[in-house]
Amino acid sequence: MDLKNTALLVIDVTNFCCAEENEIQKYKVTFSKIRKMVPKLKRFIEKYRGEVIYIKTKPWKKEFLPDNLNELYKNPLICYYSKDKTGKAEEFYLLKPKKKDRIFEKNTYDAFSNPELDKYLKQKKIGTLIMAGVFGDGCVNATISSAFTKGYNLIMLKDLIETTDVKKRQDLQKLLKNYTWPVMYGKTVNSKDYSFF
């Protein structure tokens, strides 16, 4: 593995998934742990010398989402449509992609639901993906599973992957980081240990 065949995937670090104004206080879905992680991720990206690929969602609204998500969201307890009217929900939170960085959009959890991502990685002969972003128990996990199925080698930067403050989601993410990902998908390390690989 070297930088020529490796890419850093930064998943959903957008205002919709990070900014305080997009928290759902009614259901106690808050993002303080995410906001604490993002500056550390920003510093890692600034030091990283390889390919950086940013993943973000299309507007998380009924008209942009697939039928199965819209069906799921009929349950008001798990309905997370964006209420944003500013058009800024899909902008990156604290991160500023450079001109050479690539950005891919998706309309569901898995980044590989956009076939252009896989096509691009194969054109660039990228075989190893370094995973970071939000939500660890949601879109990051879905993308990890899909990437592994497509044959990519994976490195999960567990201190640069975060989820909402909801205790059950934190507990699930902890299980993913400490057991599921290292046992089933690949190296799961802290970002300071990345240089060893």
CA pair distance 175, 184, nearest whole angstrom: 12
CA pair distance 157, 161, nearest whole angstrom: 6
Q: What is the pTM of this model?
A: 0.95
From first to last of its 197 residues, what are the pLDDT tens digits of the chain? Answer: 577 899 999 999 999 999 999 998 888 899 999 999 999 999 999 999 899 999 999 999 999 999 999 999 999 888 889 988 888 999 999 999 999 999 999 999 999 999 999 999 999 999 999 999 999 999 999 999 999 999 999 999 999 999 999 999 999 999 999 999 999 999 999 999 876 44
For residue 35, give the CATH number of its domain. 3.40.50.850
- Structure token pair of residue 13: 């670090």
Q: What is the pLDDT of residue 107?
A: 97
- Strands (DSSP E) found in 12-148: 51-57, 102-106, 128-134
- Structure token pair of residue 45: 């990206």
Whether the CB-CB separation of 95 and 38 falls below 8 Å is answered with: yes
Dihedrals φ, ψ of 124, to 5°?
Answer: -85, 0
Q: What is the pLDDT of residue 1?
A: 59
Residue position matching structure tokens 């259901």: 27
CA pair distance 39, 155, nearest whole angstrom: 20
Total domains, the chain:
1
CA pair distance 60, 88, nearest whole angstrom: 12
**Containing domain of residue 151, as a range?**
3-196
